[in-house]
Amino acid sequence: MTAQDLIGTARALVADDKGLLAMDESTPTCNRRFATLRIPQTEETRRAYRELIVTTPGLGKCISGAILYDETIRQRKRDGTPFAQAIASAGIIPGIKVDTGAKDMAGHPGEKITEGLDGLRERLAEYSRMGARFAKWRAVIALGAGIPSQGCIEANAQALARYAALCQEVGMVPVVEPEVLMDGDHTMEQCRHVTEGVLRTVFAQLSAQRVVLEGMILKPNMVLPGLACPRQETVDEVADATVSRLLRVVPAAVPGIAFLSGGQSGELASARLNAMNVRFKSHLPWAVAFSYARAIQQPSLEIWGGEEPHVPAAQRALYHRAACNRSARRGEYAAAMESNVGATGIPQLTRPAA
Ligand code: 13P
């Protein structure tokens, strides 16, 4: 594995206006989402749900890479095909979440530090043998009274950089995810300030740990007001605030930015991504893509509800959201796609005559 292979994988993850599908919910998170919909929380239901995702017809037309979880990468389709192999056969690059979760940070009430560095070199080698070509690590930064602290930002940024360096050592592309959370009543301006500080610290640490910027993907939050903030900016205002801030702090050598959705609705996540590409795509140094979990999966999960007969409809819903986000990368997403889904799940947009 050479640096060129690494760079080739990173570029492939954001090529052709596709994006990433995060299907790496940890077992507790997956169970929590199942419980809300009264879906039984067993290893078999989690497997069946992931089989629904990886067998969705045409998914590889919109999705470049899929992020698996430790349980999932060890699971198989009913016909015995390992999920990583099924994904690769669909033209999608298999990836894996490798952090072991965000834990309460000592001495920092209300803040978290993401763990998982111990034994990571060996785990990465195993995942690589299982077919994973990229990996994800998520750090979470909360906003509130007196937080985030510099100590929390620095500790998380250093862990992200150490993880990224270990990934590149084994030839896997690190997807570096520092997430400034949407929870709370903070303003978009506060989110913008914190996001800029976090990203500056993350890139300083990536540089200190000698991470090859050309061989990584950044997975940040959009710059958004808190969910409980009374003032909610327009789609265009969010696009402007997000891109203007990222332009200041993300080096041009990074091939792509793939946003997390963070609890936005599927429609808003598509509309905001679309606005960034409509307004700025032609003069940005990096691709502006997506790496959504809930904003792609949620309608599909609700339709499935744990019921086998609902699988085809759930797959159409999954494909629909993936296709909307591919359209958003092209700046061609329109709200009309949401009410006009054909029997194939493919948005039927009639473009106005030029
Ligand atoms: P959401 O898009 O649901 O925020 O998930 C993205 C992700 O991978 C979180 O780590």
Q: How far apart are CA 75 and CA 247, in angstroms?
A: 40
For residue 340, the model assigns a pLDDT of 60
Measured from the Cα of 269, ligand 1's closest atom is 2
Compute, in angstroms, the gap from residue 354 CA to the centroid of ligand 1: 37
Is residue 259 lining ligand 1, measured as CB closer than 6 Å?
A: no
Is residue 294 lining ligand 1, measured as CB closer than 6 Å?
A: yes
Is residue 33 lining ligand 1, measured as CB closer than 6 Å?
A: no
Answer whether 224's CB lies under 8 Å from 187's CB. Answer: no
Pocket perturbation via mutation, ligand 1, pick of 137, 291, 296, 301 by most ligand atoms within 8 A of CB: 291
What are 112's strand-pairing partners?
104
Residue 42 has pLDDT above 60, yes or no: yes
Residues taking part in catalysis? 177, 219
Backbone angles phi, psi at 118, to 5 degrees: -65, 125
- Count Cβ atoms within 10 A of the Cβ of residue 304 and give its class: 0-12 exposed, 13-18 middle, 19 or more buried: buried
Compute, in angstroms, the gap from residue 24 CA to the centroid of ligand 1: 9
**What average pLDDT does the segment 284-305 reach?**
98
Q: What is the pLDDT of residues 190-209, one digit of tens each?
A: 999 999 999 999 999 999 99
Tokens 């080096």 belong to which residue? 251
The torsion angle over the Cα atoms of residues 181, 84, 347 and 287, rounded to 10 degrees, is 60
For residue 341, the model assigns a pLDDT of 60
Q: How far apart are CA 127 and CA 136, in angstroms?
A: 12
Measured from the Cα of 67, ligand 1's closest atom is 8
Is residue 135 lining ligand 1, measured as CB closer than 6 Å?
A: no
Residue 174 has pLDDT above 70, yes or no: yes
Of residues 158, 260, 264, 240, the one with CA closest to residue 203: 158
Closest C-alpha residue for ligand 1 atom 10: 138
Stretch (H or E) spanning 286: none
Q: What is the pLDDT of residues 300-352, one digit of tens each?
A: 999 999 999 999 999 999 999 999 999 999 999 999 999 866 444 444 444 43
Compute, in angstroms, the gap from residue 289 CA to the centroid of ligand 1: 13
Pocket perturbation via mutation, ligand 1, pick of 33, 96, 292, 297 by most ligand atoms within 8 A of CB: 292
For residue 183, the model assigns a pLDDT of 97
Is residue 177 lining ligand 1, measured as CB closer than 6 Å?
A: yes
Compute, in angstroms, the gap from residue 99 CA to the centroid of ligand 1: 13
Residues 6+ apart with CB under 8 A from 179: 138, 139, 140, 141, 219, 220, 221, 260, 262
Residue 165 CB-half CA count within 13 A: 15
Q: What is the pLDDT of residues 69-128, one digit of tens each?
A: 999 999 999 999 999 999 999 999 999 999 999 999 999 999 999 999 999 999 999 999
Q: What is the rounded average pLDDT for all residues in the chain?
A: 95
Widest Cα–Cα separation across the chain: 61
Measured from the Cα of 295, ligand 1's closest atom is 2
Residues 6+ apart with CB under 8 A from 101: 26, 114, 115, 116
Answer whether 175's CB lies under 8 Å from 209's CB. Answer: no
**What average pLDDT does the segment 34-53 reach?**
98
Q: What is the pLDDT of residues 230-254, one digit of tens each?
A: 999 999 999 999 999 999 999 999 9
Closest C-alpha residue for ligand 1 atom 8: 22
Closest C-alpha residue for ligand 1 atom 5: 293
Pocket perturbation via mutation, ligand 1, pick of 32, 219, 259, 260 by most ligand atoms within 8 A of CB: 260
